[in-house]
Chain A
Amino acid sequence: MKNNRLYINGISSISAQQENAVFDGNINTYHQNIIPAVSPDYKQFIQPMALRRMSKAIRMGLTSAKIALKQAGITKPDAIITGTGEGCKQDTEKFLEAILNQNEKLLTPTAFIQSTHNTIGGQLAQYLECTGYNVTYTQNSASFESVLMDAQLLFLEDQEMNSILVGGVDELSKKMTSFMYLDHQLKEQEISNSNLLKTNSSGTITSEGAHFFSISAEKSEKTYAELIDVSVFQAKTSEDVSEKILKMLQLSNYTIEDIDLVILGNNGDNRFDHFYHHLQNGLFSEKPQLAYKHLTGDYKTVSGYAVWLACKIFKTGSIPEIFKLNGVTCQNPKTILLYNQYLGDNHSIMILNSN
């Protein structure tokens, strides 16, 4: 019998909020719709001569991965699986601008080399000297979830596989991110992030970040959570989502009563938040409900933050007020369900358990 258990033993978050500070009540507030991530001191993790060429996605990815692995006590994982919705946009933009400005002549190599989506996975392999399985998933707003699904399959297929580094990274870039205003992904008016979920308008706010996790087939004293299951699907209506959640719970041998808390991806976009509101007022009306995108902005791999948050709640037993959507309380939740969608597409459900 092959192992199908998947334990999260190391976690790391780089986002618009300082890692761990939200649990101390220190919240960063912004009055802008495009919010850069808070950079840790990258020099503590990456040699300066290597750092000089890295765009923010690579810096964030490497740093976050190193923190997660260190927590889990892993120096070299057996496999690396990376998710990125939009890849290394900063270097792509730099390279495209050079093509235009220099009339397609005298182009330098660095930005081009680092402009591909799998640059982060490649750099991780190089830094960790990991020559094992290395795949990057680009599946829009389900990129991070696709990574977890592949990790599940990898553990099922390979008996020898014990440690996998998984993560999601996305970065901002000057021009390409600003294009999100053009197709109304971002709100027209600049807003304060703390008011995001109170707005009644189309669009959201965006940001960048990296969330890496060291996962293992074996539970240890370092374990934060077990990933029970992950699913990505398309849904036309809110009712479809409820149906899908119930079906997934059934397949995992869980019932709605087993869910202690839900983390939802509300992003203040009044065209699509009904998917969340339907669950808040229906299936999960009696469950503690949390949201996080008013702190992190929305981007293609932001659901990594939700997994990080669930792990932190399991470990600390505390739930900061800033995340709460309702007044239902819960002491030491054991099972957390995460639901996310973006622009009505790529609906995803993840179930995590602390046992």
Chain B
Amino acid sequence: MSDLRTELKQSIIEQLNLEELELADIDNDEPLFGDGLGLDSIDALELIVMLEKDYGIKLTDPEQGKEIFASIDKMAEYIEANRTK
């Protein structure tokens, strides 16, 4: 379980060009958007593509994103339950 969380943090740092951050800088329960990590709507699009490309999960309802991308923990839980690869 922790491996997936680490993998997600690595992907987020790499794909969203958060070069300044280390894995330890992102807490599993920290909000990814808003006051937490400070991601924005363009990042959300990048994360949606990442879910499909890396885990075979296609989000059809954009509203789902708010819940799924709330934190690393929430993302990992959703991926574990829905991944096809």
Q: What's the minimum C-beta distance from A101 to chain B, rounded to whole angstroms?
A: 11
Query: Which residues in chain A, 79-111, are within 8 Å of chain B measured between CB atoms?
Result: 102, 106-110
Among the listed stretches B11-19, B25-33, B60-68, B69-77, which one makes contact with chain A, having 4 or more residues with CB under 8 Å of it? Answer: B11-19
Interface residues of A, count at CB 8 A: 11
Q: B46: which of A48, A49, A102, A109 is its contact (CB, 8 Å)?
A: A109
- A109, closest chain B residue (CB): B45
Tell me whether A52 is interfacial, beta carbon within 8 Å: yes
Query: Which residues in chain B, 5-45, are within 8 Å of chain A measured between CB atoms?
Result: 15-20, 38, 42, 45
Q: A52: which of B18, B52, B53 is its contact (CB, 8 Å)?
A: B18
Task: Tell whether, in the assembled complex, residue A106 and residue B19 are in contact, meaning their CB atoms are under 8 Å apart.
Answer: no
Tell me whether B49 is interfacial, beta carbon within 8 Å: yes
Query: Which residues in chain A, 4-62, are within 8 Å of chain B measured between CB atoms?
Result: 48-49, 52-53
Task: Tell whether, in the assembled complex, residue A108 and residue B38 are in contact, meaning their CB atoms are under 8 Å apart.
Answer: no
Docked complex Cα distance between A255 and B38 (Å): 60
Docked complex Cα distance between A53 and B38 (Å): 14
- A49, closest chain B residue (CB): B38
Q: B49: which of A52, A53, A107 is its contact (CB, 8 Å)?
A: A107
A residues bordering B, Cβ < 8 Å?
A: 48-49, 52-53, 102, 106-110, 113
B residues bordering A, Cβ < 8 Å?
A: 15-20, 38, 42, 45-46, 49, 52-53
12 inter-chain pairs at a CB distance below 8 angstroms, sorted by A residue, are A52-B17, A52-B18, A52-B19, A52-B20, A53-B17, A53-B42, A106-B52, A106-B53, A108-B15, A108-B45, A108-B49, A109-B45
